Amino acid sequence: MARVPGDKSISHRAILLAAMARGRSRIERVLVAGVTQPMLDALPRLGATVHLEGETLTVESPGFRAWRAPEGPIDCRHSATTMRLLAGALAAAGVPAVLDGSPGLRRRPMRRVVAPLQAMGVPIQDTDGHAPLYLQARDPRRPLRGGRFSLPVASAQVKSAILLAGLAAADPVEVLEPGPSRDHTERMLRSLGVNLEGLGPGHVRMTPPKQDLPPLHLRVPGDISSAAFLIVAAVITPGSEVTIEHVGLNPTRTGLLDALRAMGARIEVELTGEEAGEPVGRIRVQHSPNLQGTTVEGDLVVRMIDEFPVFAVAAAYAQGVTVVRDATELRHKESDRIARLVEALQRLGVDAEERPDGFLVRGGAGVEGGRVHAHGDHRLAMALAVAGLNATGPVEVLGGEMYRESFPAFPQTLQALGARITEALR
Ligand code: S3P
């Protein structure tokens, strides 16, 4: 039996919407980790009062229309979600602000969020398509423009920034995407009474509310993207049988389960209820000795966009070829997750090959030991640690402490399941 921390995406939205709402919000099982810390740190600087006790967060806010301008830049550190979602929220508030981050975050694409916000009338500039982002003050009597935004790449962060800015728009906001990106923002806004309709796959329309957003009261489901490491660990490790409780099962996030099942993995899912407008349940996984290679492409890529590093580890144990295509977006994550992943797998003796829009693994031989780098990428760090579970020699992950970004109890959780994993003291 295992538990995973609160969902990163839902936590980010809950923290931010609690500050955008007016009144006292309470969020349980919020993810307190490296990625959410910059979002939590930003709130008091905007005028909200934040109280965190364990994993329970209370936020008292005057609502985004009464936010004050933060003094000095907001440091989003490594978190693109913080930067992109805050850009949308600050645009709605109309306060001047500077959003900056780590050197890694400064390398990630920001024009994709700045361009639609500018089209809505937001006075925002990027720096050659990157952070820092500069927002100027906007006259609060002049609402933003709504309209229809067609995203060239499916991105929940960009969609969310547009919807959050749209809360201060004069007319409806429509977002169209080429694939089914995660819809947590839509679900949470709906639960707050905002009129949001789905007009078809990847097509949503929001009518901006006239009133303030009411406070939130919710419990964050466990993160399926963190559960992913335990799922693959169980799939590849002889004798395993692992049950993970209270995991978010939003269909825009469960692509990994479909891909692993297509490989022949023994996974059972049981829906147990709903939290925060999100389906939650239990996932039971057993060692799966007869994995076969598979192809992952199209919408399935979007539904498992954060899971490719650990999926590739499963592919190393699957007979035959596993192909990932339509996944160029992986090059714009915390690291270039095509190049860095393939490089690490090769170092561990896996027959892997980089493709412009994905990668290929000729599996079946498993993993050898070796020394690899996390490249500042939490999901690469954890996936490579999982790769070590059944390797023929020890696997050493340099920079492996990045797990603290999204899954602070990762080593302890694996140890409790029987893994031998140690963290070198530095
Ligand atoms: C996220 C959306 C995805 C995902 C990221 C979190 C979110 O990014 O990779 O980890 O919370 O909206 P994109 O929106 O860039 O696809």
Average pLDDT over residues 185-205: 96
The burial of 247, by beta-carbon neighbours within 10 Å (0-12 exposed, 13-18 middle, 19 or more buried), is given as buried
pLDDT at residue 141, rounded to an integer: 81
pLDDT tens digits, one per residue of 117-155? 999 999 999 999 999 999 999 987 889 999 999 999 999
Beta strands 74-75; 97-100: pairing state: parallel
Asked if residue 426 has pLDDT above 70, the reply is: no
Dist. CA 174 → ligand 1 center (Å): 19
Q: Which residues line ligand 1 (CB under 6 A)?
A: 9, 12, 81, 155-157, 160, 181-182, 305-306
pLDDT at residue 276, rounded to an integer: 82
Question: Distance between CA 232 and CA 169 in Å, rounded?
Answer: 44
pTM beyond cutoff 0.95: yes
CATH 3.65.10.10 is held by the domain 224-425: yes
CB atoms within 10 A of CB 170: 12
**How confident is residue 8, by pLDDT bands cut at 50, 70 and 90?**
very high
Task: Give the closest residue to 397 by CA, choosing from 349, 346, 344, 337.
Answer: 344
pLDDT tens digits, one per residue of 256-289? 999 999 999 999 999 999 988 999 999 999 999 9
Beta pairing partners, 280: 248, 273
* 258 flagged as catalytic: no
Q: Whose CA is nearest to atom 15 of ligand 1?
A: 155
Q: Residues of CATH 3.65.10.10 domain(s) within the chain?
A: 8-207, 224-425
Pocket test for ligand 1, best of 11, 12, 81, 299 (most atoms within 8 A of CB): 81
pLDDT tens digits, one per residue of 55-72? 999 999 999 999 999 999
pLDDT tens digits, one per residue of 299-339? 999 999 999 999 999 999 999 999 999 999 999 999 999 99
Dist. CA 35 → ligand 1 center (Å): 12
pLDDT at residue 140, rounded to an integer: 74
Q: What token pair was written down for 126?
A: 């990027």
Beta pairing partners, 353: 360
pLDDT above 90: percentage of residues in the chain: 97
**How confident is residue 383, by pLDDT bands cut at 50, 70 and 90?**
very high
Name the E strands within 220-309: 241-248, 266-275, 278-286, 295-296
**How confident is residue 103, by pLDDT bands cut at 50, 70 and 90?**
very high
Average pLDDT over residues 232-239: 98
DSSP sequence for 298-325: THHHHTTTT-HHHHHHHHHTSBEEEEE-
pLDDT at residue 425, rounded to an integer: 62
Say if CB 261 and CB 286 are below 8 A apart. Answer: no
Q: Whose CA is nearest to atom 4 of ligand 1?
A: 306
**What mean pLDDT is reported for the chain?**
97
Q: What kind of architecture, by CATH, is found in domain 8-207?
A: Alpha-beta prism (3.65)
The burial of 270, by beta-carbon neighbours within 10 Å (0-12 exposed, 13-18 middle, 19 or more buried), is given as exposed
Catalytically annotated residue among 299, 306, 326, 351: 306
Which atom, in ligand 1's list, is nearest to the CA of 85? Answer: 12
